[in-house]
Chains A and B, each alone.
Chain A
Amino acid sequence: MIEVKDLTKTYHLGTVEVPALRGVSFRIERGETVAIMGASGSGKSTLMNILGCLDLPSSGQYVLDGKNVSEMNEDELARVRNQKIGFVFQMFNLLPRMSVRRNAELPLFYAPQNGNTSSQDIRKRAEAMLVAVGLADRMNHRPMELSGGQQQRVAIARALINNPSVMLADEPTGNLDSHTGEEIMQLLLGLNQSKGLTLVIVTHDPNIASHTQRVIRLRDGVIENND
């Protein structure tokens, strides 16, 4: 469950203060699917960064699964990102030198509970996850050898590997053709159904937003619409 109250974020560019968020409050229930929409400059990327624990708000409260994130230090935030949040990016953000399997394994190595897990177990978990996203026969390929849709599937497998409670997708279909984009959306929605994963998608594409239960529309750093 996500709960934000009076979130503000102000960037300081030299002496100029640029307010990106000016008091945003909402709740997202566990298992809900929500789209965050808005024009560029509306503050949706800033909101996304805060929801993803990549950045802290200037003021206001952010409670994720009962924990007040807005008061955490850097390492605690890293732990929350590792354990609670799965990221899917527009540009996939896979590491080109590593095989698909090792890309999917990556978050496991930063998970403290895996200190004594054997390499075999880690490998098996990554393989199971890749099978689940339909990449059983691509595990030892490099990301560059895969199509865009396949790369995004790897990113989804990576996001899922630590069993997060929230999936944050930033324009997940932005770099894909409409057919492949639709497939990726179906995959994400399926995960929401089967695992009860909370799905938050940042997009400016109304087609994508039409798949979600709710749309939060931002404009100039405040919520314009929430239904």
Chain B
Amino acid sequence: MHKLNRLLIEALDSLSANKLRSILTILGVVIGEAAVIAMLSIGRGASASITSRIESIGTNLVYVTPGSSSQNGVRNAAGSAGTLTIDDANALVNLNNVEAVAPEANSFVQIVYEAQNTRTRLIGVTPSYQDVGSLTLSDGEFITDENQSARSLVVVLGSSVAETLFGSTSGVVGQSVRMNGQPFKVIGVLESKGGTGFLNQDDQVFIPLSTALYRLVGGERFRGSSSIGQISIKASSAKAVTSVVSEVTLAMRERHGTVEGADDFTVTSQQATLAAATQVTDILTIFLGGIAGISLMVGGIGIMNIMLTTVTERTHEIGLRKAIGAQRRDILLQFLVESMVLSLVGGLIGVAIGWGIARLMGSIQIGGSAITPVVGLDSVLLATLFSMAVGLFFGIYPATRASRLQPVEALRYE
């Protein structure tokens, strides 16, 4: 044990004899290590935030969307075929493990209240959509069966739409807004669910599906058609999703008379979306960490450079140590410990600084919402071990060179 002690003491002695040089060498490792920690934690944070947003939509959902239409051999966008109908949706209700089925029709609409207006996503839905989409109302009520059968001109507003039009989410129920020139009565306002960009679930409004399909004047896509944009199915549990996907697929094939490979519909699950998103963020994390890892390698080359200089400068000392009985192994160990002390000290400081950077990044808002960086113990351990490995790897060559010096020649060196 005291052998290691002595090696450490000697390493610290000789490193402190060249303070500036040691500090600069350590700095290279500090920067690399800090970058690795910061990048990994930001990647992890992005991953966690995307995952939680997708999970807030629900992980036990299965979606059926129409296939793409084909005109003169030119295939149009997915969903353009218009092959899904309300009857399809009704048929799926009776399948095993299906808790609720919500057909919907999507469009975009200009919504107007007095002098305010905004463009938002319009979704025609049935009452079961509230359950399927895990929607909570902050005020009023959701679309009812009566609204659906009467094709009522009623609307439920997403919270940010209410904010835009009325400047508030309360006291809005009972007001009248106009869409495509028709007056709609606001019957409810949804609670905010968060999310940005295409995942923003607050920037949308809901009307009865029947209203959307048969009454919304100017909504060309919907008018006079019973075809719907998407069917959302809530499975009884996340575990049942796989079996629901296959059952839905079989039922739809039977109804549409299609065979595998020629389906005019697509069945996907939220889990597949989640898996895809996780894969993307994992790749992002590896990419960021990899780039940061390069700077750690550069720090390692700095160590190697300085250790080679040290070995040359201390040739005479190496000769003396060999003369009084140091074996190759002793000299090798001495210089390896020195380079590993450099990389480990740099690594530890780097972890602290990287953690600080991650915290700082967490307080910066990106696209309206902050990414909360996740500094995992595993990434700290990984980065520290990596920095030690860098010290070991880049220390081996100089240390080997030192250990191979011939005592006579080394002693003669001035």
A144 within 8 A of B: no
Interchain CB contact under 8 A, B408 and A158: no
Q: Which residues of B contact A158 (CB under 8 A)?
A: 324
A148 within 8 A of B: no
Closest Cβ neighbor of B326 among chain A residues: A110
Q: Which residues of B contact A81 (CB under 8 A)?
A: 322-325
Q: Which residues of A contact B406 (CB under 8 A)?
A: 55
Known contacts A82-B324, A107-B325, A119-B2; decide if A49 and B13 are in contact (CB<8 Å): no
Digitize B288-328: 1 where CB-to-A-CB distance is under 8 Å, 0 elsewhere.
00000000000000000000000000001100111111111
Interchain CB contact under 8 A, A118 and B2: yes
Partner of B324, one of A75, A97, A106, A119: A106
Interchain CB contact under 8 A, A74 and B328: yes
Partner of B5, one of A55, A110, A119: A119
Min CB gap B317→A, angstroms: 6
Q: Which residues of B contact A118 (CB under 8 A)?
A: 2
B14 within 8 A of A: yes
Q: Which residues of B contact A87 (CB under 8 A)?
A: 323-324
Closest Cβ neighbor of B2 among chain A residues: A119
What is the size category of the interface that chain A forms with chain B? 20 to 34
Q: Which residues of A contact B17 (CB under 8 A)?
A: 97
Partner of B325, one of A78, A93, A122: A78
B411 within 8 A of A: yes
Interchain CB contact under 8 A, B325 and A111: yes
Question: Which of B2, B13, B330: most chain A CB closer than 10 A?
Answer: B2
B407 within 8 A of A: yes
Q: Count of chain B residues with Cβ under 8 Å from any Cβ of A?
A: 24
A149 within 8 A of B: no
Q: Which residues of B contact A106 (CB under 8 A)?
A: 321, 324
B75 within 8 A of A: no
B19 within 8 A of A: no
- Measured in the bound complex, the distance between the Cα atoms of B329 and A144 in whole Å is 29
A54 within 8 A of B: yes
Min CB gap B17→A, angstroms: 5
A83 within 8 A of B: yes
Q: How many A-B residue pairs have CB under 8 A?
A: 66
Partner of A110, one of B13, B14, B324: B324
- Measured in the bound complex, the distance between the Cα atoms of B105 and A59 in whole Å is 99
Q: Which residues of A contact B325 (CB under 8 A)?
A: 78-79, 81-83, 107, 110-111, 162
Interchain CB contact under 8 A, A93 and B2: no
Min CB gap A122→B, angstroms: 8
Question: Which of B317, B322, B325, B329: most chain A CB closer than 10 A?
Answer: B325
Q: Which of A111-136 contact B (CB under 8 A)?
A: 111, 115, 117-119, 122
Closest Cβ neighbor of A158 among chain B residues: B324
Partner of A93, one of B6, B320, B328: B320
Min CB gap B334→A, angstroms: 10
A98 within 8 A of B: yes
A52 within 8 A of B: yes
Closest Cβ neighbor of B13 among chain A residues: A97
- Measured in the bound complex, the distance between the Cα atoms of B323 and A93 in whole Å is 10
A109 within 8 A of B: yes
Q: Which residues of B contact A75 (CB under 8 A)?
A: 327-329
Q: Which residues of B contact A117 (CB under 8 A)?
A: 2
Min CB gap A84→B, angstroms: 10
Interchain CB contact under 8 A, A78 and B327: yes
- In the complex, given contacts A75-B328, A122-B2, what are 20 additional A-B residue pairs having Cβ atoms less than 8 angstroms apart? A49-B408, A54-B407, A55-B407, A74-B328, A78-B326, A79-B327, A81-B322, A81-B323, A81-B324, A82-B324, A83-B325, A93-B320, A93-B323, A95-B320, A107-B325, A109-B6, A110-B321, A110-B330, A111-B325, A117-B2
Binding site for A on B (CB under 8 A): 2-3, 5-6, 13-14, 17, 316-317, 320-330, 406-408, 411
Pairs of residues from A and B, 6 with the lowest C-beta to C-beta distance, nearest first: A82-B325, A110-B325, A78-B327, A107-B324, A54-B407, A93-B320
10 sampled A-B residue pairs with Cβ under 8 A: A54-B408, A75-B329, A78-B326, A78-B327, A82-B326, A89-B411, A110-B327, A110-B330, A158-B324, A162-B325
